[in-house]
């Protein structure tokens, strides 16, 4: 039996390596795959996207090739990754690639835009706003050389996230599970449950202890949740 794939879509400023520890945690339950965006890690020298819909349309070929036909696939995306994953589900479904479930994390529904923004701010003011949103500061930003490498992608990610408008008003047909840290100061429980309107299929809402970046400490529990959600749909 082919190992199912959990396709992970990074949040703003993050790269595929964030999800590498999940491979060990997943064991033989899932093949952990990632969406590898330009402007970070092995694609560091490439120009980052500034539009979510464009990013999904441009990357879907590589994603589809990696998934292959007939693979059981679940998508997981946190924050920016949630709306990018949502766009990818639309595109993959149109190509006949079956997505079993969409797990969205730390995100209001796709039609809700954030009121307070980081896009347009510069330097320390920008970083302070991002730190306020995320609830933590990445230690790499305290090193001038690393900061110079990370900042362009982080700024572009914030810009495209805050300007995001869904490519269609049509909901997806796959089940959605929306997950949130119970002390998330950026996304309310009500906003996280707006995803109910983004699917014509089943919807579930789950909270974990923590703030907006709860997933840093709860990889194993998230994988257990995805496993139980997927088992329930089979």
Q: Are 91 and 101 in contact (CB under 8 A)?
A: no
Separation between Cα atoms, residue 229 and residue 206, nearest integer Å: 11
For 86, how many CA atoms within 13 A lie in the half-sphere containing its CB?
33
- Looking at residue 137, its pLDDT comes to 59
- The structure's pTM equals 0.91
Its domain, for residue 186, covers 5-232
- Looking at residue 81, its pLDDT comes to 95
Q: Domain total for the chain?
A: 1
pLDDT above 90: residue 38: yes
Average pLDDT taken over every residue of the chain:
88
Q: 99-105 and 203-208: which strand pairing?
A: unpaired
For 63, how many CA atoms within 13 A lie in the half-sphere containing its CB?
31
Q: Look up the CATH number of the domain holding residue 52.
A: 3.40.50.1820
- Tell me the per-residue pLDDT of 188-201, one tens digit each, with 9 for 90 and over: 999 999 999 999 99
CB contact burial 184-197 (16+ within 10 A = b; e otherwise): bebbeeebbbbbee
- Tell me the per-residue pLDDT of 143-169, one tens digit each, with 9 for 90 and over: 777 777 777 788 888 888 888 999 999
Separation between Cα atoms, residue 67 and residue 52, nearest integer Å: 21
Separation between Cα atoms, residue 125 and residue 41, nearest integer Å: 25
In Å, how far are 44, 126, 154, 164, 221 from 122, measured between CA atoms?
21, 5, 11, 20, 36
């Amino acid at each position: 039996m082919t190992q199912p794939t959990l396709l992970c879509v990074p949040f703003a400023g993050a790269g595929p390596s964030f999800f590498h520890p999940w491979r060990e945690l997943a064991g033989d339950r899932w093949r952990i795959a990632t969406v590898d965006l330009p402007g970070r890690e092995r694609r560091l020298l490439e120009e980052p996207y500034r539009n979510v819909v464009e990013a999904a349309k441009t990357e879907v070929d590589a994603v589809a090739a990696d998934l292959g036909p007939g693979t059981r696939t679940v998508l997981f995306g946190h924050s920016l990754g949630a709306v990018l994953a949502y766009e990818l589900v639309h595109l993959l479904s149109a190509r006949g690639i079956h997505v079993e479930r969409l797990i969205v994390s730390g995100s209001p529904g796709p039609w809700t835009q954030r009121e307070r923004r980081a896009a347009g701010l510069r330097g320390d003011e920008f970083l302070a706003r991002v730190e306020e949103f995320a609830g933590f500061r990445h230690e790499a930003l305290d090193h001038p050389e690393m900061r110079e490498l990370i900042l362009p992608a982080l700024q572009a990610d914030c810009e495209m996230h805050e300007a995001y408008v869904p490519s269609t008003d049509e909901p997806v047909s796959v089940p959605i599970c929306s997950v949130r840290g119970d002390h998330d100061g950026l996304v309310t429980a009500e906003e996280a449950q707006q995803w109910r309107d983004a699917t014509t299929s089943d919807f579930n809402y789950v909270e974990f202890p923590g703030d907006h970046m709860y997933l840093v400490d709860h990889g194993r529990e998230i994988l257990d949740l995805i496993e139980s959600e997927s088992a329930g749909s089979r």
